[in-house]
Structure 1
Amino acid sequence: MTPDITIFAYIGKTIESTLDIFVSATSSNVITGISGLVLAGVILYFTIYGYLVMFGHIEEPLFDFLKKAGKILLIISLALGVGTYQSNIVESFRGLESGLSTMVHNGSASNIYDVLDISFCGGATLTEKALDRANEFSILNAPATVIGWFLSGLIIALATIILTVVAAGYILLAKVALSMLLGIGPIFIMCLLFPPVIRFFDAWAGQVITYILVIVLMATAMAFSLKIFDAFVGKVNFADPGQHALTIALQLLIISCCLLIIVFQIPTIAAALGGGFGLSMLNPLRGASMAARGLKNIVNPVSVRRDMGTGHMETASRMQHVRSGNTVMNPAYSRRLYENLRTGWGGWNKNQSPNKE
């Protein structure tokens, strides 16, 4: 199926062209800014190293020194050469992203944005057929049928839009974040020269791989969704008078919800594989879970009360205290609490004068 609608392809290509310019300009500025400092540090390092060798404070084979010097020169050439960084580092990560994504694309799709457009067109085709089916009946003679097919088309349209827009949002966010990291990449590559800060390069590389995996896995999910849409469209016969409108809509709604859950989990999966954490924190399911826990703490908070049976302090939720009878709504508990307050639990004893110590 060749997409007639190219919304995502147009948006994606426009944003990517802007991001390419951003990466090139930012990396060039970063390289210009750190070149002097890095070269001065390397010259100082070799100068001090030479003096230490001259005075006999360092004794190591010449091969070890050459290996160390070769490593330093390789890192500097990759990080401080504008053309070298663009062609070897940026293009390598871009090629890894596009290469892995192309492997999971459907036949006519040349990139991830075409997959989104094809998926969107599949839902639009179903919506159009449902609305055409509704127009075949009169609202006066068959109101239930007209409303049913109209609702069917509406549900199909909403499910398609939500699924494709959420997937496109994650993809664009990952591409923007990836471009930002590649723009400042020379700084983290130079961290390989200094052992105390090598961990910053590891974190940078892990985050770059995480965003690449988000894009690749999202392409996989959308290609999988496209196959499901195509299979569903092939089985639906809108010309059949016995075809139930709401049944079609509910089936597609259930499928879309399941696919949406998969899409929400992709950033978490990518973070686990790549060692990053960025997009996984934006998971709506995790946000809903945290909101539910916060609401639970308001409605059913945990508190400490004295157990009426044992006399010990007990930590439990409000509902657990109610089930155990440890609440003022229980007459026995209220009476016991009043007696305990009178005997000194509350710091007051009726047999003791307030002024007496």
Structure 2
Amino acid sequence: MDPMVFQFIGETVKNATDAFVQPAASSLMFALQMVVLTGVTLYITMTGYAISTGAVESPFWTFVKQCLKIIIIAFFALTADGYINGVMEAINGLEGGLSQAMNTGGGAPMSIYQVLDQSMGKGFELVGICFQRADEAGWNFGSVLGWAIAGVVVAAGTVLVAMLGGAVVIVAKFSLAVMFALGPLFIVSLMFPATARFFDSWFSQVMNYVLTIVIMAIVMTFAMKAYDAFIAGADFSGDGDSNPMFAALQIGALTGVLCWIILQAGGMASGLAGGVSMAAMGIRHLMSPVSGGLNAAKTVGNMANPMSTRRDMQSGMMVTARRGNHLVAGNTMWNPAYRQHVMQNMGKNWGKATGGSVKQ
């Protein structure tokens, strides 16, 4: 049976952070409401005035889209349903989903704390085998000492790996809770272009902690697989290369590798989170492909519906407009009246100009 050390610690940490995060986030949302309302009112008033007076050359629909964006952001940042049930649940679901997707054990999905406990249980299973061999050695003090040393090495390595992994996970969980408590402030900053970079920094930190937890789940799953492979392939009879000291050396090397990977987990998560936040999942960067697609569509539209200058049948003046506008106005060769008008006036002013003289 696996120990439930980390499940107990994780449940305690979760209860403590839940009791802190939601009230803190709710208090922050309430405190921000009047500040945001004042700032948004001034921003919309000044932007609308600048557009109406021509001080800013921006289409009216751009202003409307900006207002819609502010409304959507306000829902996610300043309402409990939008932030707690939307943002927080989505991020927690991402972390849990990725961790469970990395579960290659073939069993039921496990939390990161269950993975830590199961990994520690596999190590203690090896410790039990070593001490059982020491007990079976009887009066052979060399074998007893060898198996006892192997058991101590395995126990120390197991505890070291589990404690390091658990500490990294718990710190990441607590840090993620702090980011959740401050989240409304940084989501609100997404409303205005001048402060949107603060949201990118916050989102990068959130993804850093999420990926740290996911990477730790992968590392501890690897540890379980390594322990299983060691138990299945090791010969604990004490003969040949599988003597107690050699087994202890193998476990020591495995422990060193796992500890090094655990220490690198933060750096790996930071690198991945920076790339994810700044290059792919930043809200402003997500709009770049959309803008590019709109520009491409505009280019195609210009090719299909170009600007041209034609004589207007009603006013008799030259008019510059798009092909579709000319078609609606009847200024096109598809219109029999326009075609007849063009044919009648074709060549009327060709040739040399009449009247006047040129002085040498």
For the residues of structure 1 that align with 2:157 and 2:46, how far apart are their CA atoms? 66
Shift of 1:58: 4.7
Measured against aligned partners, the alpha-carbon deviations of 1:287-319 in whole angstroms (never above 9, x if no partner) come to xxxxxxxxxxxxxxxxxxxxxxxxxxxxxxxxx
Counterpart of 1:37 in structure 2 is: 35
Measured against aligned partners, the alpha-carbon deviations of 1:137-192 in whole angstroms (never above 9, x if no partner) come to 34xx4221111111110000000000011011101111110110111001111111
Shift of 1:209: 0.6
Counterpart of 1:143 in structure 2 is: 141
Counterpart of 1:260 in structure 2 is: 259
Counterpart of 1:18 in structure 2 is: 16
Measured against aligned partners, the alpha-carbon deviations of 1:263-288 in whole angstroms (never above 9, x if no partner) come to 11111111111129xxxxxxxxxxxx
Shift of 1:234: 1.0
- SS of 2:195's equivalent in the other structure is helix
Counterpart of 1:297 in structure 2 is: none
Counterpart of 1:102 in structure 2 is: 100
Counterpart of 2:175 in structure 1 is: 177
Shift of 1:206: 0.6
Would you say 1:78 and 2:95 are equivalent positions?
no
- SS of 1:4's equivalent in the other structure is coil
- Unaligned 5+ segments in structure 1 are 277-357
Measured against aligned partners, the alpha-carbon deviations of 1:5-60 in whole angstroms (never above 9, x if no partner) come to 11111211221122223221111011011111111111222233444455554554
For the residues of structure 2 that align with 1:8 and 1:247, how far apart are their CA atoms? 30
What percent of counterpart residues are identical?
35
Counterpart of 1:244 in structure 2 is: 243
For the residues of structure 2 that align with 1:157 and 1:50, how far apart are their CA atoms? 69
Would you say 1:192 and 2:177 are equivalent positions?
no
For the residues of structure 1 that align with 2:63 and 2:271, how far apart are their CA atoms? 38
For the residues of structure 1 that align with 2:153 and 2:238, how far apart are their CA atoms? 20
The answer on whether the counterparts of 2:127 and 2:152 sit within 8 Å (CA) in structure 1 is yes
For the residues of structure 1 that align with 2:273 and 2:48, how far apart are their CA atoms? 40
Would you say 1:123 and 2:106 are equivalent positions?
no
Q: Which moved more, 1:175-184 or 1:37-46?
A: 37-46
Would you say 1:90 and 2:96 are equivalent positions?
no
Q: Taking structure 1 as reference, are residues 142 and 47 closer, same or farther at Cα in structure 2, changes over 3 Å only?
A: same
Shift of 1:236: 2.5
Aligned length: 272
Q: What code does the residue aligned with 1:120 have?
A: M
The answer on whether the counterparts of 2:119 and 2:223 sit within 8 Å (CA) in structure 1 is yes
Shift of 1:107: 2.9
Q: What code does the residue aligned with 1:219 have?
A: A
Counterpart of 1:65 in structure 2 is: 63
Counterpart of 1:222 in structure 2 is: 220
TM-score of the superposed pair, with normalisation by structure 2: 0.71
For the residues of structure 2 that align with 1:271 and 1:53, how far apart are their CA atoms? 42
Shift of 1:95: 0.6
Shift of 1:61: 2.8
For the residues of structure 2 that align with 1:133 and 1:65, how far apart are their CA atoms? 77
The answer on whether the counterparts of 2:238 and 2:244 sit within 8 Å (CA) in structure 1 is no
The answer on whether the counterparts of 2:133 and 2:236 sit within 8 Å (CA) in structure 1 is yes
- SS of 1:275's equivalent in the other structure is helix
Measured against aligned partners, the alpha-carbon deviations of 1:234-281 in whole angstroms (never above 9, x if no partner) come to 1234356665111111111111111111111111111111129xxxxx
For the residues of structure 2 that align with 1:53 and 1:81, how far apart are their CA atoms? 31
Q: What code does the residue aligned with 2:3 have?
A: I
CA RMSD, 1 decimal: 1.9
Counterpart of 1:134 in structure 2 is: 134
TM-score of the superposed pair, with normalisation by structure 1: 0.72
Counterpart of 1:279 in structure 2 is: none
Q: Taking structure 1 as reference, are residues 155 and 53 closer, same or farther at Cα in structure 2, changes over 3 Å only?
A: closer
- SS of 1:226's equivalent in the other structure is helix
For the residues of structure 1 that align with 2:90 and 2:264, how far apart are their CA atoms? 27
* Structure with greater Cα Rg: 2
